[in-house]
Structure 1
Amino acid sequence: MSGKDIKFIAVGTVFFLLFILIGFFIRFYIKSEFSNIATMKDMETMNRNPYDASILIDTAIKNLKESPKKAEIITDVRTGEKVMALSFKGLSDPDTTREILHLMSVYGRKGTFFLPGIAAAEDAEAVQAMVDGGHKVGSNTLTGLKNLEEYGLEELVVDFCRTNNIIKVLTNQENILLLCNGTKYTPKVLQAAFASGNKKVVSISHYISYQSFSTYTQVLDYIKRLDDGTIFTIKLNGTLDEDEYVSVKKQDKPAVDKQPGIDVQKETKNLSEEERLLQVVEWILKALDEVQYKTVFVEDISQYNDPNFKRLSEQKQGELAKVYTEAHTGSKYISFKKPVQKEMGTKEIKRKNQIEALRKKNNGKLAEEIYTIYTTEQAVSYTFSGIANTAVLIDVLQKLDELNGKGTFFVTGEEIENYGDAIKSIASAGHEIGICLKVTETADYYSTCSSILDIQEKIETLCGKKPTLVRYAYVVNMTDEVLEAISSTGCKVVWQDLSFASSKVGKQGTFDQVLAYAYHKGNISVPRGYIVFFRMDFYEDNSLIGKLMVDFTKNRVDTVAYQDDIEDNGSSYRIKTLESLMNSSYVYQYPVPKTNMLSSVKDKIYPGHLKDKTNEGILEKLIQRYIGNPEANTPATLPGFSEEELSRLNTAGTFTDDKVIFLTFDDWSSDKPVNQILYVLKKYDIKASFFIRTEYMEANPNLLRAIALGGHDIGSHTDAHLPFANSQSFQGEDDVKSVFISLSEEEISSRKEDLWTSYNKLQSVIGDIEIDGIPALNKIFRPPTLAMSKEGMKAILDMGFTYIVSGDFSTHDYAAENAMELASTILTGIQRRNGSYKTLGNGSIIILHMSDDSDMPNRENDITAEALDIVIPKLLEEGYRFVRLSEYLSDEE
């Protein structure tokens, strides 16, 4: 090792330590602000679910333990002022919601919208429009569940926090009101709400829906008879539930929304549900103007409370009930009797029996949720939802044809009814049809099961094949009931590794904005088995999804392939349907079950392998098992050894005179360099040895398994790339010099833990692979930076590693400017400090890297791969053979 190299390592170590100290300070500061620093793996997780609320949940649970505080209840107030709080609950379809917001703007009214978190996430544009219109957004829990007083404290906290986090992300609002459906506000519910950040909850006594009125006169009379100070709520989806009626006395008739066979008057009877809702909302806004009512946000109604003001008389309550009920029935009072249930027909009974039988057969099993496909196949999957946007759909199908790819299209029951011909056409073109569920239609086991079975039957009729892959238009946290229903119908849930729909960017997002959101250093090139999701109905620009598809394919998929003159050279990644990708022979189980691991591999790394050896026995072991490098052969570069001991160590970096060369590759990276290196090696039928830095490997286990299945050796290069000797600088006579020093006991302990972690990560991916009778995973170790000490060697061998191998030919390929430069270095030699050259010879161990050349995507070949393509045929002509280290170094201790 040259003085320049030692100086470089010393300076690097100083900066490394400084970086750790700065990083520790930053992390400590950010943690104090209840934030989080995302690693590359975290970024992948955030991409899958940007509404992750784990930090909020942990904080809330901690709050629960520390404080018994309860949320304040907001309800109707007593006041003599003509004021009420106008609010809405739930979400209608996007067009109807947009029209309602337009009406609010026309009439100059502001309101509070209580939204289920999942529905809000699915229609982020509507939420943004509410905020832009000056309205407030509150929580209606995650999915609008009822009877929350029956849930446990932590279950409540998880629900409330997840909803709050979604709303905060979408609105930037901090003070979020909570409205629970059909729930008694017990101390437990109020305590969970307060801990979760909902300092106030809302109790509402007056609800109406699209069925509540059929003429403007009825609405006007109803508004006139409301108490001042009322919180008045319009339900935006569905009819009223049992608990959503005005509580009045002398009830003897069915409630308005529960009346069977209501014959509404002509003004509304020919309108759709959405049209009737819009009509009712407009009548209410008009009536509020006519009666000259002031409306305020729900959170502000308590400011008008006058406890001494006398409430509405019983007579007025009766008049109010009469007006409300006569709108449809002519009866005098609102009833709370159980509504008349429609008798089930033969078809409904058959469906119910089928669902119950499926549940029994499934025996409580929950559906698998898949985010990525564990496969070594050189393929990815593009998935889509939102086929109702036909302009985008046509563009997407055209682009897939141009890209020679097949996609998976998830469709809803509503889309099947309205776009059956399009779905049939998609399937006939070789694409796959999956099931897209709607949160509002799948709240429990029965409703989910029923929805899936209906969609399956319709798609099978249209396309001749029953779909088994299910998702929602957005990643949601599914209940066990929903997962049980999906499993009972023989389905799996498939999400994605990368979504191009970003609520942070918004529906008006541009190409550059979406790319800035979607791309980061973790996806320079696409990994094998990647699932990419496009919502065709998300962005206003109908050309955007097609452009994103083409850009991703061009810059993240096509760049993985090695460019040479051979057509269809086998290095390209294809775009396939989910089903074909998931059901191929390349799929494997990750992590590998311990029962499937090779006995020679499983759990072989642990401390204590040298415990029974004497000091002399340990030294003999080091002499036998260490293959160093020519630059480390003095006490200053191999600390802990005496001159006599050093003379017995292998510092030449080679161990055989056979006319062979060992290609070795260190570290980790993205698919592009590794895939191209694998291609070049396969091109010449060459096997090599890969030493894996496992810190980031878990984010892409498919790549590691592909290396192993290619017949190559896999060894550890540690998890965190910590060296096994420390460098120390001092001022010499002429300049700053560096020496290496041994590790402390604490550092040795941390290195051993790192070695254990690294090996266990490797065996979890390839512990079951054997090629030509040799396990892919071996116990040959490559030290980071090649730095080593006596104590470091002892730690490595004590953990069970059989060899420590550096090598004699370190190419520094990571610093090469181009392939020709690197090829020249390999063929002509490495210049030493004295000006001579170290050239390749029999038994040379070439040290290369699989690092990315750039953190930006490009179509240039990987420098190391291309250099090997130049070098290998020349060395083969000279008579060299390329072999794996494991063919010479026994894995036995």
Structure 2
Amino acid sequence: MRRILLKRIALLTALWTAGNMAATAGFNQFTSVATLPQTAYAATSEEERALQRAEQDLIEAQHRVIEAQRALLEKQKRLLENREGESTVPAARGRRETAPVKQRKDSYETPPSETPVIRHEEPQTIQRNEPPADFQMQKQQERQAISIPRTPSDANANGYRQNANQNVLNDDGFANAVWQDNNGGVVANQQNGETITENTKASSLLSGWTAADLDTLRKQNNGILATEEKMIYTTDSSVMFTFTGMGRKKSVDSVLNALRQVNGKGTFFVTERELKRNQDVIREIVAAGQELGICIYPKPEEGFGDVCADILRVKQILKNQYGKDSNLVKQFSGAVRDVTKEAVSALGCRLIGANMNAVQSRHQDYQTAEQILPEIMGKAVFSLGRGWIVNIRMDFYKKPDLAAELLLYLKRKKIDNIAYNSFDDMADVNPVNDSAYSLKSVGQVLSIKDKLWTYPVPEKDYVKGIERYPLLPHDATHEQLVDELGKRYFGEGTVNAQDRSLGFTEEDFTKFDMTGTVKTDDNVIFLTFDDWGHDSAINPLLYVLRKHRAPATFFIITHNVTDNPNLLRAIAEEGHDIASHTNTHKAMAVEDEHGKTKPTMGYEEYYNDMNTSYNKLASIVGDLQWPDGRPVLTKFMRPPTLAISAMGTRAILENGFEYIINGSTSTADYGASSLEQEIKVIRDGLYYRDKLRKGAIFVMHMTSAAKFTATALDVILTANEKKADNDPTKFKVGLLSDYLDYGYSQGKTKKQINQEKRRIKWW
């Protein structure tokens, strides 16, 4: 009891001291309006002054309560000191004279192995001393919660969170408290003894706007909801950063300095309150050439007219005071309701979200960007993507300049690594190297009209020729399947009846062209890339191909492609074929632990997988075509692991895919241990006995594991360009779709058949 009382005295002393400090400083430490989110505060200046007076009265009353409790506890302390040495609880007669004490295992009076004796006694009445008279008063006061003044209202207890034994308003709690103090946004005007209730925000419309105007807008909008744009669908090689929380000048200044360091632009979304209270900060943002947008924080009770009024007021201030006419709207936090989306759409604005919100609640006390980054981007996310939007709230972290540090760290770790850099071609040194991504504002990206596109591509915009038709009857025999495959299958030398195949015999394989080359007399080779990857893996490949004007075919795994559609769209727009590498990347046949080859899927599942893959690709590039009218989206596919099966190839042909393409050289670049090794593998695939392998198809990859592929190609293509035009080893890089038109057949020629007959068999 003594320890408990001493602790209470210490606590009340701390509260009394804190209260005096708060009163001296002119604000309440626990619920300071200055430390709360500015976007949530909606009271007028008169209401603020009234709240401040109420706060001061509550503080003074609290001090009086604390002083009374201190005096009471001091009195109790003196009583305890006078009775020192006496037992607080009288001893019971008979069994024990002291309270039980937890004993160590080695201090039993009775050995643990013996059965304890249970004594049965009649219950006896225990005589206890009555506590002092003021003890009951003390216990009653202990049961009363110490009421810490809340700002601005005491009505919404749910708006508080416990933090270090203090009641602190969170964002939503503060907004709700202000809203309730303002009577839910409704004011009562006393006129001639009558109460006229009207919506505050609806009555605060801009001059020239009426409720009837908004009603007309709503009808004309016809219920259309704005889409929250978490990324901008563009092929421009840029990333966008948006910023909220202008209440702390030091944080804003540090972010502006960071943007200057990287020559970047951002979009700063400001609230009405920030425009009124932080005018010097807003002017600095404008002077720095940064973009301003409209930030709103609508309450759950707000309707269509209220949200429109919020947007229009901020829009007018931006235009009148800062000369900025913005139609970009962002909600400060929380899920965006349909009524907000409807208001944004009706006003002709765009609702901007974020692909990645860099600020999370658990990061408030963090001190370095290195602590934050692993928690907002997992190990598997190697880079940001073109068209992505990253949002940072500047006034959230306790460390004022941490938002700027995070911006620079993201730029260095997740954007700069997207550029292509080799020993003689650095993005920040070579002015021709355009592989680096830049930081642009949302408005800048939206202004580049020729880079914008619609996702998903409307089916009505699909180009002619994208349709598929079955190339094999459903009831076709195995012999018919083998004959059709002979025309449409490009084999690879390591795949045979015993390795990575199922349902085909050695006799069947004799009908397939396993060279993996295109039948041509041109000095041409073909570059192909499998799988899917991040911008940091694919963008360097695109730069090298662009640098050497070399086209390629990209075989895409479509499972995650819709998470980064801008990248696939950019590949197609840069002049490359798009083809399928299935949706889920499941091989047609695999070998189990017993060495037996078995299928991974049934016919219907594999058929649907291929169909899904093609449809996803069409939703991104289905409207693109070559100058001669051919679709950029081909009907080519490459089997995962190059494995084939009778069931799988049947599903592919019945799905309307025209060619199954493995290739002549599988570089295994995902496992290359050095650049030299990768260059050697590609050169070996290019030449045989110093002669060019005409029509060679190279199988490479676009993943982060293939880390030497871009540089190896740069070296080889550069060396090839230096050769004389009459050099028979000089090659050009071709596009598969230029050679594999609908009439092309991969069936063995008579020359091939005769050569195979004359070939000596050593077994």
TM superposition score normalised by structure 1: 0.60
In the TM superposition, what whole-angstrom CA distance separates every residue of 1:236-264 from its partner, at most 9, and x where no partner exists?
Answer: 9869xxxxxxxxxxxxxxxxxxxxxxxxx
Going from structure 1 to structure 2, the CA distance change for 1:349 and 1:594 (only over 3 Å counts) comes to: closer
1:517 corresponds to which letter in structure 2? E
Find the counterpart in structure 1 of residue 710 from structure 2: 865
CA distance in 2, matches of 1:491, 1:471: 10
Aligned to 1:407: 266
* Residue type of the alignment partner of 1:852: S
**Structure 2 residue 349 is matched with structure 1 residue 484:** no
Q: Deviations over 1:823-857 (max 9, x none)?
A: 122114599xxxx9999611111110011038xxx
Residue 255 (structure 2) aligns with = 396
Q: Which residue of 2 aligns with 1:725?
A: 589
1:656 aligns with 2:514: no
1:282 to 23, 43, 59: 59
> Which residue in the other structure is 2:420 paired with?
562
| SS in structure 1 at match of 2:529 | strand
Q: Which has the larger radius of gyration?
A: 2
1:91-136 alpha-carbon deviations (Å, 9 max, x no partner): xxxx99x99985699xxxxxxxxxxxxx9xx97999xxxxxxxxxx
Q: Does 1:754 align with 2:754?
A: no
Q: Is the 8 A contact 2:685 2:696 kept in 1?
A: no
**Alpha-carbon distance change, 570 to 508 in structure 1, aligned in 2, over 3 angstroms:** closer
1:446 CA displacement? 1.9
Question: What is the Cα deviation at residue 356 of structure 1?
Answer: 3.4
Report % sequence identity: 33
- Correspondence list, 1:574-585, <5 A: 574-584=438-448, 585=450
SS at match of 2:501: coil
- Residue type of the partner of 1:714? I
Distance change in 2, residues 1:794/1:840 (3 Å): farther
User: Which of 349, 355, 372 pairs up with 1:514?
Assistant: 372
- 2:648 aligns to what? 792
Shift in Å, 1:522: 4.6
1:240-639 alignment to 2 at 5 Å? Answer: 272-282=49-59, 285=62, 294-296=143-145, 339-341=195-197, 350-440=209-299, 443-474=302-333, 476-563=334-421, 564=425, 566-584=430-448, 585-602=450-467, 604=468, 609-611=472-474, 613-635=476-498, 637-639=500-502
Distance 1:819 1:125, change over 3 A: farther
- Cα distance change, pair 568–554 in 1 and its aligned pair in 2 (3 A): farther
Instruction: Kindly provide the CA deviation profile for residues 614-670 of structure 1, in whole angstroms up to 9, marking residues without a partner as x.
Output: 443322111111111111233555332233322111112123142211111000111
Look up the SS of the partner of 2:493 in the other structure: coil
Partner SS state of residue 711, structure 1: coil
Distance, in Å, in 1 between the alignment partners of 2:538 and 2:359 is: 29
Q: Does 1:689 align with 2:553?
A: yes
DSSP-derived class of the 1:382 partner: strand
Which segment drifts farther, 339-348 or 872-881?
Answer: 339-348
Contact in 2 for aligned 1:523/1:670 (Cα 8 Å) = yes
- Local SS of the residue matching 1:380: strand
Contact kept, 8 Å, 1:827 with 1:840, in 2: the verdict is no
Q: Distance in 2 between matches of 1:815 and 1:270?
A: 68
Match of 1:887 among 719, 726, 738: 738
Q: Which residue type is aligned with residue 517 of structure 2?
A: T
**Partner Cα separation in structure 1 for residue 647 and residue 371 of structure 2:** 52
Matched position secondary structure for 1:778:
strand
Within 5 Å, give how 1:127-146 maps onto structure 2. none
Distance 2:365 2:304 in 1: 33
Offset at residue 374 of structure 1 (A): 1.0
Q: Is the 8 A contact 1:809 1:840 kept in 2?
A: no
Deviation at 1:449, TM superposition (A): 1.2
State the alpha-carbon separation in 2 of the partners of residues 347 and 640 from structure 1. Answer: 75
CA distance in structure 2 between the aligned counterparts of 1:460 and 1:828, rounded to whole angstroms? 65
Contact 2:667 2:681 in 1 (8 A): yes
Q: Counterpart of 2:650 in structure 1: which amino acid?
A: K
1:461 Cα offset (Å): 1.1
Counterpart code for 1:355: L
Q: TM-score w.r.t. structure 2 length?
A: 0.70
The alpha-carbon distance between structure 1 residues 625 and 751, as it changes in their structure 2 partners (threshold 3 A), is: same
Q: Is the 8 A contact 2:528 2:555 kept in 1?
A: yes
- The answer (yes or no) to whether the contact 1:372–1:529 under 8 Å persists in 2 is yes
CA positional deviation for 1:478: 2.3
Q: Secondary structure at the match of 1:775?
A: coil
Report the Cα distance in structure 2 between the residues aligned to 1:630 and 1:839, rounded to whole angstroms.
19
Contact 1:99 1:278 in 2 (8 A): no
Q: Which amino acid aligns with 2:563?
A: A
Give the Cα–Cα distance (whole angstroms) in 2 for the partners of residues 472 and 819 of structure 1.
48
Cα distance in 1 for partners of 2:48, 2:605 equals 72
Distance 1:785 1:724 in 2: 9
Distance 1:238 1:819, change over 3 A: same
Matched position secondary structure for 1:650: coil
Matches of 1:686 and 1:874 in 2, distance apart? 14
CA distance in 1, matches of 2:738, 2:389: 38
* 3-state DSSP of counterpart to 1:455: helix
* 650 and 459 in structure 1: CA distance in 2 versus 1, 3 angstrom threshold: same
Q: Which residue number corresponds to residue 48 of structure 1?
A: none
CA contact (8 A) 1:441 1:447 kept: no
Tell me which residue corresponds to 2:622. Answer: 767
- Give ranges in structure 1 of 5+ residues lacking alignment: 1-94, 106-118, 127-142, 144-235, 240-267, 299-336, 731-737, 855-861
- Structure 1 residues 793 and 347: alpha-carbon distance in aligned structure 2, compared to 1, 3 A threshold: closer
In structure 2, the CA distance between the partners of 1:350 and 1:887, relative to structure 1 (3 Å rule), is: closer
**SS of 1:771's equivalent?**
coil
Pairwise CA RMSD of aligned residues? 3.7
Q: Aligned partners of 1:391 and 1:688: how far apart in 2?
A: 49
| Partner amino acid, structure 1, of 2:641 | T
> Structure 1's 371 and 123: CA in aligned 2 closer, same or farther, altered over 3 A?
farther
Q: Deviations over 1:654-700 (max 9, x none)?
A: 23142211111000111012111111111111111110011121111
1:526 is displaced (CA, Å) by 1.5
How many residues were matched structurally? 587
Distance (Å, rounded) in 2 between the aligned partners of 1:641 and 1:400: 61
Unaligned runs of 5+ in 2: 1-21, 70-139, 148-192, 724-728, 745-763
Q: Note the C-alpha offset of 1:769.
A: 0.8
Q: In structure 2, how many angstroms separate the alpha carbons of the residues matched to 1:520 and 1:630?
A: 39
Is the 1:442–1:448 contact (alpha carbons within 8 Å) kept by the matching residues of 2? no
- How far the C-alpha of 1:612 sits from its partner, in A, is 5.6
- Is the Cα contact below 8 Å between 1:473 and 1:535 reproduced in 2? no
Which of 526, 534, 540 in structure 2 is aligned with 1:676?
Answer: 540
Change (3 A) 1:892 1:485: farther
